[in-house]
Amino acid sequence: MLRFLIRRLALTIPTFVALMFVTFMLLRLVPGDPIEVRRGERGISAERLADLRHQMGLDQPIWKQFLDYVWSILHGDFGTSIVSHAPVLQEFWTLFPATLELSICAALFSIILGVPAGVFAAVKRGSFYDQALMTSALTGYSMPIFWWGLVLIFFMSNTLHLTPVSGRVDLIKFYYPAHTGLLLIDSLIWGPKGAFIDVVRHLILPTIVLGTLPLAVVARMTRSSMLEVLEEDYVRTARAKGLSPFRVVSMHALRNALIPVVTTIGLQVGTLLAGAVQTENIFSWPGIGKWLIGSITRRDYPALQGGIMLIAIMVIAFNLLIDMTLGIINPKVRNER
């Protein structure tokens, strides 16, 4: 297990270096200049431009800028935002809880609905239910997040008045300082009466929108994995022994069928974060996604680089965790090269 862990950790080092290089270079290769972007329609004198470039270190050779950047990251310094002048790490930690909370809810939503739906479809293979579920999954898979979000706002918020339109909490009624930044926890412990329910109501639409794609993936994966397992000899044996269909599925088949599903869920972390960028913009959700989009528009290099690196660290760490979990569940994984 230790060797497996060391091997996996060693693999992450080149990943990081490549990632640092790619983020750094890509931002500099795309057209657009952080100073010019700030200027609107105004002209700027060559001296002033040079002065501002110097202040931001943009007049250094690219290789020097890159080395400085790597050196800073190795020292835990992700830079200072050009726009807000606040440390990137501080901005990240202020906004990350909102994204984390939304992503966890969306992941739970996709697992809680996706696994049973996949199992049900596999058991009822070829039936109307199977076809209906898989068609829904395909629809969910191909649904553009932006459109889906607006449709839900229109029906749920503006027509039926069941959910709030956007934000994390009613800004007038429930004003209390953030403690953990995870409003489900904050509102439950420190919030005034009714705050928790309000937070839950605000979470419903973004959770559905962000969770739809992973839900479809999980349901389809569970179904196909389940179908495979249901054909295995030990399942047939279990059936032949006269066990009830429920027991066969839940005790024997599901456990094995879930292994590839766990891997899929792990891979969905990246999807969730990518989806969060759009979801957060539609629902004015103050998280990392919204922050990154704003940073791109303003060519805020440090915020963008730092933000992407920090997200990458999270994704890699999470995948490492999933690999280790799989390694524990299934010894075969540990020996794979």
Partner 1 sequence: MKLTAGFAATLLIGTMLAAGAANAKSLVYCSEGSPENFTPAINTTGTSFDAARPVFDTLVRFTPGTTQTEPALSEKTDVSEDGLTLTFHLRKGVKFHSGVNGFTPTRDFNADDVLWSFGRQQDPAHPYAKVSGGAYDYFNDMGMPDLLEKISKTDDNTVVIKLKQPNAPILANLAMDFATIESAEYADFLLKKGTPEQFDQIPVGTGPFSFVDYQKDAVIRFKANPDYWGGKPKVDDLVYAITPDASARYAKMKAGECQIMGYPNPADIPTIAKDDTIDLVQQAGLNIGYLAFNAQKPPFDKPEVRMALAMAIDRDAILKEVYQGAGQKAKNPIPPTMWSYDNDAKDIAYDPAAAKAALEKAGVKDLETDLWWMPVSRPYNPNAKRMAEMMQADLEKVGIHAKLVSYEWGEYRKRAQAGEHQMALLGWTGDNGDPDNFLAVLLGCGKDGKPNGNNIPKWCDQKFQDDVNKAATLSDQAERTKLYVDAQKIVDAQVPWLNVAHSTVFEPVSKKVTGYKVSPLGSHVFYNVDVAE
Complex with partner 1: residue 91 or 323, whichever CB lies closer: 91
From 67-75, 211-219, 223-231, 290-298, give the range in contact with partner 1 by CB under 8 A.
290-298
Report whether 46 contacts 54 (CB < 8 A): no
Which one-letter amino acid corresponds to residue 250? Answer: S
Stretch 125-144 residues interacting with partner 1 (CB under 8 A)? none
Contact between 291 and partner 1 by CB under 8 A: the answer reads yes
Using rule CB under 8 A, residue 36 touches partner 1: yes
Determine, following the binding rule CB under 8 A, whether residue 260 of this chain makes contact with partner 1: no
Contacts of partner 1 in 294-313 (CB under 8 A): 294, 299
Q: What is the Cα–Cα distance from 88 to 310, expressed in whole angstroms?
A: 10
Which CB sits closer to partner 1, 37 or 182? 37
**207 scored as a contact of partner 1 (CB under 8 A):** no
Bridge partners, 80 (sequence order): 87
Ramachandran region, residue 79 (left: φ > 0; alpha: ψ -120 to 50; beta: rest): left
**Candidate segments 16-24, 83-91, 133-141, 259-267, binder of partner 1 by CB under 8 A:** 83-91
Residues listed for the chain: 337
Q: Is 167 left (phi over 0), alpha (psi -120 to 50) or beta?
A: left
| Per-residue interface string for the shown chain with partner 1, residues 147-176, x marking contact by CB under 8 A | ---x--xx--xx--x--xxxxx-xxx--x-
**DSSP string across 207-240:** HHHHHHHHHHHHHHHHHHHHHHHHTSHHHHHHHH
Q: Would you say 36 or 231 has its CB closer to partner 1? A: 36
Contact 37, 298 (CB under 8 A): yes
Stretch in the footprint of partner 1 (CB under 8 A) among 44-52, 58-66, 121-129, 240-248: 44-52
Q: Residue 111 Cβ, how far from partner 1 at the closest point, in Å?
A: 28
Q: Does 101 bind partner 1 (CB under 8 A)?
A: no
Q: Using the rule CB under 8 A, is 228 a contact of partner 1?
A: no
Task: Kindly state whether residue 336 participates in binding partner 1, applying the rule CB under 8 A.
Answer: no
Sorted by sequence, the CB contacts under 8 Å of residue 284 that are 6+ apart come out as 166, 167, 290
Looking from the CA of 214 toward its CB, the CA atoms found within 13 Å total: 32
Report the C-alpha gap between 92 and 81 in whole angstroms.
11
* The dihedral formed by the CA atoms of 253, 254, 256 and 257, expressed in degrees to the nearest 10: 100
Q: Which is nearer to partner 1, 279 or 305 (CB)?
A: 279
Q: Which residues bind partner 1 (CB under 8 A)?
A: 30-33, 35-45, 48, 52, 55, 82-86, 91, 94-95, 98, 150, 153-154, 157-158, 161, 164-168, 170-172, 175, 177-178, 281-284, 286-287, 290-291, 294, 299
